[in-house]
């Protein structure tokens, strides 16, 4: 294994401006597909939307073994203003590299690609398959992971997200209902002739925030933290002299493992229904699609123990079992019945920030960890 290979791949990946939502992952996907074909993988490009293909690369085993899926995403969030260097040209400075996506999540992707390359080049005759699933749209609604082929199965999925040397086995999920308040317009000099939709929404949001403070703070998962509810977008009114007849508010509701989407929506509906002053004028109008609901893998699962042992071999210490406070694509593999864990290079607190960075040593560690886990799983017979 050549540690510089991961950095070389990462530098190439950073140049592709696969920004969600303004760009596409097409060029990045073509590059991933080319590198994996040259490594000896069978490669499928699965178009999710025009110009947005998943890459599914399979390093075939000799047969009869277990399958591992290495998954992460090709899209990145917008760079934003204020970078110290070009965010789409990787900058190497000391033990750090900088650029949009070096940590979230082109760093994990580069390490996974380098790991597959190294295993293929070694000539190892493993009975099981190693699958790289590089997907689109994780930074929005996980369309890529949601629509992976139905016949994609595995004995372990490793999700590439920054865990700073720990092993995450749980993550929070989210739902985003959009509330609609419908009032009656009138001249603002005669407000009694109308029904103010903004005022209706304000009463609703106060009630929801009271619920969050009184109830959700008590719902705590040992690895992912507590449930939350936040108002993140609100729109209402069209003219300074008109009583607004319409107001919308987007609720970001973070779910912990064990909380069901339907139950969380029902709670919001019950709070709204319990406010007589609203007169039935406020309701959930629609849902904005998110990455998905929360999921977890039990800590004593054999595949968790296998992944933990691989990290210990590389880092020289047993990893802490943790959880992510954010969403990730793990939920869509858990839904398929695939035991899943989250591991990747970098500190998650750097995610989505200006001057995003990751250390060269963490990239090297990640490549070694992915290699170790893949060989261990694919080297096992069923």
Helix (H, G, I), strand (E, B) or coil at 369: helix
User: What residues of the chain score a pLDDT lower than 50?
Assistant: none
Residue 320 DSSP class: P
Is there a single domain that holds both residue 9 and residue 152?
A: yes
Q: CA angle 92-121-375, nearest 5°?
A: 90
Report the pLDDT value the prediction gives residue 163, as an integer from 0 to 100. 97
- Picking from 294, 286, 20, the residue whose alpha carbon sits closest to that of residue 141 is 20
Domain coverage including residue 228: 173-288
Report CA-CA distances (Å) from 205 to 176, 199, 250, 252: 14, 10, 10, 12
Residues 89 and 118 in one domain: yes
Residues 59 and 40 in one domain: yes
CATH code of the domain covering residue 240: 3.30.70.360
DSSP state letter for 19: B
Is residue 240 located within the same domain as residue 346? Answer: no
Predicted pLDDT at 3? 72
Domain count, the chain: 2
Q: Judging by DSSP bridges, how do beta strands 52-59 and 130-135 pair with one another?
A: antiparallel
What are the strands of the beta sheet with 246-255, ordered from one edge? Answer: 228-236, 246-255, 173-182, 282-288
């Amino acid at each position: 294994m050549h540690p510089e290979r991961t950095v070389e791949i990462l530098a190439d990946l950073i140049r592709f401006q696969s920004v969600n939502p303004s760009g596409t992952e097409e060029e990045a996907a073509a590059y991933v597909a080319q590198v994996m074909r040259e490594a000896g993988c069978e490669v499928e490009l699965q178009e999710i939307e025009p110009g947005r293909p998943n890459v599914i690369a399979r390093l075939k085993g000799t047969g009869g073994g277990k399958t591992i899926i290495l998954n992460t995403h090709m899209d990145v969030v917008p760079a934003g203003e204020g970078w110290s260097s070009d965010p789409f040209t990787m900058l190497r400075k000391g033990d750090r590299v900088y650029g949009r996506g070096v940590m979230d999540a082109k760093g994990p992707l580069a390490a996974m690609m380098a790991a597959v390359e190294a295993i293929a080049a070694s000539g190892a005759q493993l009975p099981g398959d190693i699958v790289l699933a590089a997907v689109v749209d994780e930074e929005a609604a996980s369309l890529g992971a949601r629509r992976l082929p139905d016949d994609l199965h595995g004995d372990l999925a490793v999700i590439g997200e920054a865990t700073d040397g720990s092993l995450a086995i749980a993550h929070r999920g989210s739902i985003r209902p959009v509330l609609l308040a419908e009032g009656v317009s009138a001249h603002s000099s005669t407000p009694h002739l109308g029904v103010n939709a903004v005022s209706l929404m304000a009463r609703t949001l106060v009630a929801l925030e009271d619920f969050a403070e009184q109830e959700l703070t008590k719902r705590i998962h040992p690895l992912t933290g507590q449930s939350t509810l936040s108002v993140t977008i609100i729109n209402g009114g069209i003219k300074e002299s008109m009583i607004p007849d319409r107001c919308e508010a987007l609720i970001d509701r973070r779910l912990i493992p064990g909380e069901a989407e339907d139950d969380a929506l029902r709670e919001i509906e019950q709070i709204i229904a319990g406010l007589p002053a609203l007169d039935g004028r406020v309701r959930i109008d629609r849902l904005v699609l998110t990455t998905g609901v929360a999921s977890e893998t039990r800590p004593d699962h054999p595949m968790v123990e296998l992944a933990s042992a691989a990290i210990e071999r590389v880092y020289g210490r047993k990893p802490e079992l943790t959880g992510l406070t954010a969403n990730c694509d793990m939920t869509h593999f858990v839904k398929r019945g695939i035991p899943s864990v989250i591991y990747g290079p970098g500190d998650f607190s750097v995610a989505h920030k200006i001057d995003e960075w990751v250390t060269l040593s963490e990239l090297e560690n990640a490549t070694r960890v992915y290699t170790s886990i893949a060989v261990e799983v694919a080297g096992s017979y069923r």
